[in-house]
């Protein structure tokens, strides 16, 4: 069976590895980044109707500043982010099941949203709401993982465009490595020359792993 390279930072990497094992896959942890907090100034909560959260990392690394925003409801991009927000004491008003554009399209256009975000991000396209982004965390580069050189014929899970770009920088011989990307943008960032490239229908870890399982077990078209 082909191994699965997990490139995302912790704690997401271990969570994905656990899901992979449940599917009978052989995960290999090879994180390219480590998430860390950055200093940030808390905006005046009265200027906003709600928080926009697109990653659980915003809650994990937001620090003491989050307490001042606890009165604002949260619109979360997915279930994992919503659960992290609830665990931190926030009230979740809505939870998306796709990407941030899908979530925003379901919300009233009159909302003023405070986006607690990562340093490396793409601004939502076509948003009707007023959105103010504040950086509360960043993903710091880690040394190239040994697993990239040691694991042949693997399937690499690419959870972000930045991970795709970093993977492309580190891997010269691509013909034996398959890519499973969480979005078209993540796939595009990987560049060309890979054995195969597959893209999840929605930005979901479960769908990503389902595609990886097909490749690893040989049932997907090679």
In the chain, which segments carry CATH 3.40.50.10090? Answer: 4-32+142-216, 35-140
Provide the pairing of β-strand 92-95 with 112-118.
unpaired
Distance of CA 128 to the CA centre of its chain: 23
Instruction: Work out the number of other CB atoms within 10 angstroms of the CB of residue 12.
Output: 18
Q: What is the pLDDT tens value at each position of the chain, 222 positions in all?
A: 899 999 999 999 999 999 999 999 999 999 999 999 999 999 999 999 999 999 999 999 999 999 999 999 999 999 999 999 999 999 999 999 878 999 999 999 999 999 999 999 888 888 999 999 999 999 999 999 998 887 779 999 999 999 999 999 999 889 999 999 999 999 999 999 999 999 999 888 999 999 999 999 874 444
- What pLDDT score does 221 carry? 41
Is the domain spanning 35-140 CATH 3.40.50.10090? The answer is yes
Q: For Cα atoms 152, 158, 162, give the angle at the middle one, nearest 5 degrees.
A: 120
Query: What's the fold here for domain 4-32+142-216?
Result: Rossmann fold (3.40.50)
How many angstroms separate the CA atoms of 100 and 97, rounded? Answer: 9
For the chain, give the number of residues.
222
The C-alpha angle 9, 13, 14, rounded to 5 degrees, equals: 135
Q: CA–CA separation, 135 vs 124, rounded Å?
A: 15
Strand order in the sheet with 27-29: 27-29, 4-6, 155-158, 178-181, 197-199
Q: What is the pTM of this model?
A: 0.88
């Amino acid at each position: 069976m082909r191994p699965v390279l997990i490139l995302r930072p912790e704690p997401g990497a271990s969570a994905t590895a656990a899901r992979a094992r449940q599917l009978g896959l052989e995960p290999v942890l090879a994180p390219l980044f480590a998430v860390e907090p950055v200093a940030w100034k808390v905006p005046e909560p009265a200027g906003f109707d709600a928080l926009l959260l697109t990653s659980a990392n915003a809650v994990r690394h937001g620090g003491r500043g989050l307490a001042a925003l606890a009165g604002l409801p949260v619109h979360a991009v997915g279930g994992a982010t919503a659960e992290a927000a609830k665990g931190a004491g926030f009230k979740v008003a809505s939870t998306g099941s796709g990407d941030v554009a899908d979530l925003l399209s379901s919300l009233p256009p009159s909302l003023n949203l405070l986006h607690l975000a990562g340093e490396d991000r793409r601004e939502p396209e076509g948003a009707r709401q007023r959105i103010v982004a504040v950086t509360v965390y960043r993903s710091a580069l880690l040394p190239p993982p040994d697993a990239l050189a040691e694991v042949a014929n693997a399937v690499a899970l690419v959870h972000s465009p930045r991970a795709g770009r970093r993977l492309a920088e580190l891997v010269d011989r691509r013909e034996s490595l398959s890519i499973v990307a969480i979005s078209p943008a993540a796939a595009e960032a990987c560049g060309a020359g890979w054995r195969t490239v597959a893209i999840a229908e929605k930005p979901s870890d479960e769908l990503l792993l389902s595609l990886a399982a097909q490749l690893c077990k040989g049932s997907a078209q090679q």
